[in-house]
Amino acid sequence: MIDTIGTEVAEGEERMRLDVEHGIGVLTLCRPDRLNAWSWESTRQLGLMADRIRFDDTVRVVLLRAEGRAFCAGIDVTAPGGGITGRSGAERTRNYYEGIRWAHERFAAFARLPQPVVAAVQGYCLGFGFELALMADLRIAADDAVFALPEAQLGVAVDAGGDLRIARDAGAGWAKYLALTGRRIDAAKAERLGLVQEVVPVGELAAAARATAASIAANAPLAVQGIKRAVDAYADAAMAGALERAAMTAALTLTSEDAREGYAAKAARRSADFGGR
> Can you say whether residue 35 is alpha, beta or left, with left for phi > 0 and alpha for psi between -120 and 50 degrees?
left
Q: 5-63: per-residue pLDDT in tens?
A: 567 787 778 999 999 999 999 999 999 999 999 999 999 999 999 999 999 999 999 99
Task: Enter the pTM of the model.
Answer: 0.92
pLDDT at 2 over 90: no
Rounded Cα distance between 256 and 272, Å, is 14
Output 266 or 69, whichever has higher pLDDT. 69
What was the pLDDT predicted at 89? 83
Q: 204-217: per-residue pLDDT in tens?
A: 999 999 999 999 99
Range scoring the smallest mean pLDDT among 72-81, 108-117, 264-273: 72-81
Residue 212 CB-half CA count within 13 A: 22
* Alpha helices, DSSP H, located in 87-146: 89-111, 128-135
Rounded Cα distance between 37 and 45, Å, is 13
Active site residue 14: no
Residue 160 CB-half CA count within 13 A: 25
Q: 234-257: per-residue pLDDT in tens?
A: 999 999 999 999 999 999 999 999
Rounded Cα distance between 46 and 11, Å, is 16
What was the pLDDT predicted at 144? 98
Beta-carbon contacts of 1 under 8 Å, excluding residues fewer than 6 positions away, are 40, 81, 84, 95, 99
What was the pLDDT predicted at 13? 85
Residue tagged active-site, from 14, 105, 151, 244: 151
The residue-averaged pLDDT of 136-152 equals 98
What was the pLDDT predicted at 12? 78
The residue-averaged pLDDT of 186-200 equals 98
pLDDT at 80 over 70: no
Across-strand partners of 118? 63, 138
Active site residue 131: yes
Residue tagged active-site, from 67, 98, 131, 244: 131
